[in-house]
Amino acid sequence: LASRDFHPDDTVIDIKGTRIGGGNLVVMGGPCAVESAQQIDEIAQLVKAAGGQVLRGGAFKPRTGPYSFQGVGVEGLIMMAEAGQKHGLLTITEVMTPEYVDICAEYADILQVGTRNMQNFDLLRKLGTCGKPVLLKRGFSATYDELLNAAEYILAGGNPNVMLCERGIRTFETYTRNTLDLSAIPVLQGLSHLPVISDPSHGTGRRELVEPMSKASVAAGADGLIIEMHTDPDNSMTGDGVQSLFPDQFAALLKDLEQLAPLV
Ligand code: PEP
Ligand code: MN
């Protein structure tokens, strides 16, 4: 079902009038994690003012260590839904377990599957019937074929609205957190009709690389970007402050991107 042979035309996902895929560029911006109502409200306002269409933020965080901040949970879903509604933005948040799919689907417009859960097949099956679009991140050691098979689980469950996301893979390089695989963008678009979103934040792990890799992703044909932005990155509650743009950098980037491709 994910294959272009089966479905030659690009899939366009229409969420409350915002069309993702088929030549439009969507920008999703926001913090790694929802930290407080004030934080997400402030950032939502900045994302909107810069021309972004979707507010990102994790309420449930898949942390490498069990003692790290795990997210504010359901409260965070509520805070983000309120901020999105107030500022006229769609919202995207990560769901980690099948049990939480229903509540995340109640509050968010798009559900995100994280890199560590790309092959959580019970979660993928549940997302097949959740009624909301899904952004499926590529596992950091997954091949294109494995990513497309993971998407197949969601599609086979009856949910046609899946976006694929390149977020960097693990290589021998240690300077960057991951290696953003730009080839994934045209390759996946050739193999599949699903929209392809690039995540230069996790793909590089370094703030100064987000701008060039965002532009490179758009030049390579990406249907959208998901970018971390924080008002106080040095004090963010996850380690991802080092890859988060400052609000003025985010705004400047979106201005430049408009020259490359019209924002949805
Ligand atoms: C995130 O988007 O904050 C995140 C945890 O991403 P990934 O699953 O790609 O590491
Ligand atoms: Mn993050």
Q: How far away, in angstroms, is 117 Cα from ligand 1 center?
A: 10
Q: Model-level pTM? A: 0.98
Distance, in Å, from the CA atom of 114 to the CA atom of 119, rounded to the nearest integer, reads 10
The string of pLDDT tens digits covering residues 49-90 is 999 999 999 999 999 999 999 999 999 999 999 999 999 999
Q: How far away, in angstroms, is 8 Cα from ligand 1 center?
A: 30
What's the whole-number average pLDDT of the chain? Answer: 97
Q: What percent of the chain has pLDDT over 90?
A: 97
- Closest CA relative to residue 196, chosen from 185, 205, 209: 185
Maximum CA extent, the chain: 48
Say if ligand 1 is within 6 A of residue 177 CB.
no
**CA-nearest residue, atom 3 of ligand 1:** 32
ipTM above 0.90, yes or no: yes
Say if ligand 1 is within 6 A of residue 138 CB.
no
The string of pLDDT tens digits covering residues 101-143 is 999 999 999 999 999 999 999 999 999 999 999 999 999 999 9
Q: Which residue has the tokens 């080092």?
A: 242
Q: What is the pLDDT of residue 95?
A: 98
The residue that leads in pLDDT, 99 or 261, is 99
Q: Please state the φ and ψ torsions of residue 132, each to the nearest 5 degrees.
A: -125, 150
Q: How far away, in angstroms, is 32 Cα from ligand 2 center?
A: 4
Distance, in Å, from the CA atom of 98 to the CA atom of 28, rounded to the nearest integer, reads 24
